[in-house]
């Protein structure tokens, strides 16, 4: 039984992996209706603003993954920047964010699959289909990286057709609103305070659309020449997806036949209703097949990332049952037990969404805040090390200008985390949901502290330089 991961991902397949994780289709469909109904068509400008902030974070991550291309990304980077404790908790939050996001995307995929099959969508039916997706995804993941590479490449084709292709078609033949409509609502950006500012609330939603570029680091030890390959993947995946998402969202905004219905909340699924209006029932149904593929690919990427972070922890003896969780099995050297554990926890989340009222909404809320608090650890650590003149870059670096960019990356990450987690009165009937990010972080911190106290003295750390030499 080997204890070394196989490097089977190339530049293209690593990009396809990160692309599927971010997923333009998931990004658009996941936040469009919420953001539009909150801030009107002017919410579109948030795509540019959030991208501007996230590209600064991506620049830092590109430097980090070049220096330390070690399985586990955020956990590994933070541990080497800020010490064992900070690294453990950074990865702990990130691990749970990935697992919860995996279950959430499976639920989203289930809704599309049900529509495609002509099934009546009930909460129970959605959960059953999500569970089937979870099982099939697990089986695919256990087969090895070959099937993942094929599926991810297929997803890119579906994503491009479903976002860029449909966007071009809407632009050319189904524009219902003037381009100036994207400025509607911008006059309210200033003067409404932090808590109830509609534009900032929409920015929090859009923040969910631009995460996942860091996922390439989760499979770092499975990528050929990672020190040079992965920085390109981190930067290009974010830039490419952001461009696709902004373009497709603009096309949908201009094609909406009745914006008032979306603003009032009467139309809860403006993307699909706009496609039906513009294309007809048949083509809109075909579009849903593409949407389902996008969600399924994103699920697979999330599942893979979650299992690799779990495996990286276990290899460092940073989790209970580390010997079992760090095992690599089969000719393909897949962390089978880590994949299964990620899937079991995801299944529990899907079940909980049926047993607890609004649990699904809590899952959605937590994942957005979870990504940004996870990002905050390595970004802050990088700034401290950089300004302490202790940073020695890897083969890929932006040089001295990073001091300037890193400060703004830190400011952005802090701001967006507070913006996302701020307990705004969004759920009047269930006010606890307004505190879901804070409650989730506190709960995980308490549980994490107990586990960390038990593994602290046993933890090891993999030699990154040795891995680099062997890559």
**Domain CATH code at residue 371:** 1.20.1740.10
1 part of a folded domain? no
241 part of a folded domain? yes
Which helix (H) or strand (E) segment holds residue 439: the answer is: helix 436-455
CA distances from 222 to 132, 334, 336 (A): 27, 10, 15
> Is residue 269 a contact partner of residue 28, using CB atoms and an 8 Å limit?
no
The pTM of the full predicted model, rounded to 2 decimals, is 0.92
> Is residue 298 a contact partner of residue 20, using CB atoms and an 8 Å limit?
yes
Cβ-based neighbours of 94, under 8 Å, separated by 6 or more: 73, 74, 75, 309, 370, 371, 374
pLDDT of res. 160: 86
Cβ-based neighbours of 118, under 8 Å, separated by 6 or more: none
214 part of a folded domain? yes
pLDDT of res. 150: 82
CA-angle at 18, arms to 365 and 157, nearest 5°: 105
pLDDT of res. 470: 67
DSSP state at residue 42: G
CA distances from 169 to 172, 178, 275, 292, 334 (A): 5, 16, 10, 20, 42
What's the domain count of the chain?
A: 1
pLDDT of res. 1: 44
> Is residue 261 a contact partner of residue 267, using CB atoms and an 8 Å limit?
yes
160 part of a folded domain? yes
3 part of a folded domain? no
Burial 122-145 (b: 16+ CB within 10 A, else e): eeeebbbbbbebbeebbebbbebb
Give the CA-trace dihedral at 391, 392, 396, 397, to 10 degrees.
50
- Location of structure tokens 């291309």: 69
Structure tokens at 408: 């703004």
DSSP state at residue 194: T
Note down pLDDT in tens along the chain; length 471 residues: 456 788 888 888 888 888 888 888 888 888 888 889 888 999 999 999 999 999 999 999 999 999 999 999 999 999 999 999 999 999 999 999 999 999 999 998 898 888 888 888 888 899 999 999 999 999 988 887 888 888 888 888 888 888 888 899 999 999 999 999 999 877 767 656 666 788 888 898 899 889 989 998 888 988 989 999 999 999 999 999 999 999 999 999 999 999 999 888 788 788 888 988 888 888 888 888 888 888 888 899 999 999 999 999 999 999 999 999 998 887 778 899 999 999 999 999 999 888 876 777 778 778 888 999 999 999 999 999 999 999 999 999 999 999 999 999 999 999 999 998 888 776 666 666 778 888 889 999 999 999 999 999 999 998 877 777 766
Give the 3-state secondary structure of residue 258.
Answer: coil
Which helix (H) or strand (E) segment holds residue 352: the answer is: helix 336-355
End-to-end CA distance of the chain: 20
**Enclosing domain of residue 63:** 11-470
> Is residue 62 a contact partner of residue 229, using CB atoms and an 8 Å limit?
no
248 part of a folded domain? yes
465 part of a folded domain? yes
Give the 3-state secondary structure of residue 275.
Answer: helix
pLDDT of res. 339: 94
The radius of gyration of the chain's CA atoms, rounded to the nearest angstrom, is 21
454 part of a folded domain? yes
In this structure, the number of other CB atoms found within 10 A of the CB of residue 335 comes to 26
Structure tokens at 353: 């969404």
């Amino acid at each position: 039984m080997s204890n070394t991961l196989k490097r089977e991902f190339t530049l293209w397949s690593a990009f396809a992996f990160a692309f599927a994780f971010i997923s333009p289709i998931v990004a658009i469909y996941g936040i469009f209706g919420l953001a539009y109904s909150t801030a009107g068509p002017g919410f579109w400008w948030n795509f540019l603003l959030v991208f501007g902030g996230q590209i600064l974070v991506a620049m830092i991550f590109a430097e980090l993954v070049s220096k330390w291309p070690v399985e586990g990304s955020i956990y590994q980077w933070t541990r080497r920047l800020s010490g064992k404790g900070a690294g453990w908790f950074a990865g702990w939050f990130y691990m749970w964010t990935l697992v919860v996001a995996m279950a959430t995307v499976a639920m989203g995929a289930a809704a599309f699959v049900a529509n495609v099959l002509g099934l009546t969508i009930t909460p129970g039916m959605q959960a059953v289909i999500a569970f089937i997706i979870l099982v099939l995804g697990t089986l695919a993941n256990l087969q090895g990286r070959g099937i993942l590479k094929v599926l991810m490449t297929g997803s890119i084709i579906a994503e491009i057709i479903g976002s860029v292709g449909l966007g071009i078609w809407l632009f050319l033949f189904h524009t219902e609103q003037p381009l100036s409509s994207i400025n509607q609502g911008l006059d309210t950006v200033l003067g409404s305070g932090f808590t109830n500012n509609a534009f900032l609330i929409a920015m929090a939603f859009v923040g969910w659309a631009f995460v996942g570029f860091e996922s390439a680091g989760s499979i770092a030890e499975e990528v050929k020449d990672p020190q040079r390959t992965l920085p390109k993947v981190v930067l290009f995946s974010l830039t490419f997806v952001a461009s696709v998402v902004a373009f497709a969202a603009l096309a949908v905004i201009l094609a909406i036949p009745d914006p008032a219905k979306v603003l009032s909340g009467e139309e809860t699924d403006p993307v699909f209703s706009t496609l039906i209006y513009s294309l007809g029932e048949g083509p809109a149904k075909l579009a849903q097949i593409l949407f389902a593929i996008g969600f399924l690919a994103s699920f697979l990427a999330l599942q893979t990332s979650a299992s690799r972070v779990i495996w990286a922890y276990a290899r460092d003896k940073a989790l209970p049952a580390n010997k079992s969780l760090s095992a690599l099995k089969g000719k393909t050297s897949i962390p089978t037990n880590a994949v299964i554990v990620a899937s079991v926890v995801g299944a529990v989340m899907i079940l909980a969404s049926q047993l607890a009222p609004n649990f699904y909404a809590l899952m959605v809320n937590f994942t957005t805040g979870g990504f940004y608090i996870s990002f905050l650890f390595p970004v802050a650590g990088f700034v401290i090390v950089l300004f302490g003149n202790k940073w020695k870059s890897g083969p890929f670096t932006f040089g001295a200008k990073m001091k300037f960019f890193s400060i703004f990356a830190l400011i952005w990450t802090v701001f967006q985390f507070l913006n996302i987690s701020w307990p705004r009165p969004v759920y009047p009937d269930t006010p606890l949901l307004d505190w879901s990010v804070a409650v989730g972080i506190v709960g995980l911190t308490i549980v994490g502290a107990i586990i960390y106290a038990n593994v602290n003295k046993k933890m090891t750390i993999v030699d990154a330089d040795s891995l680099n030499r062997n890559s």
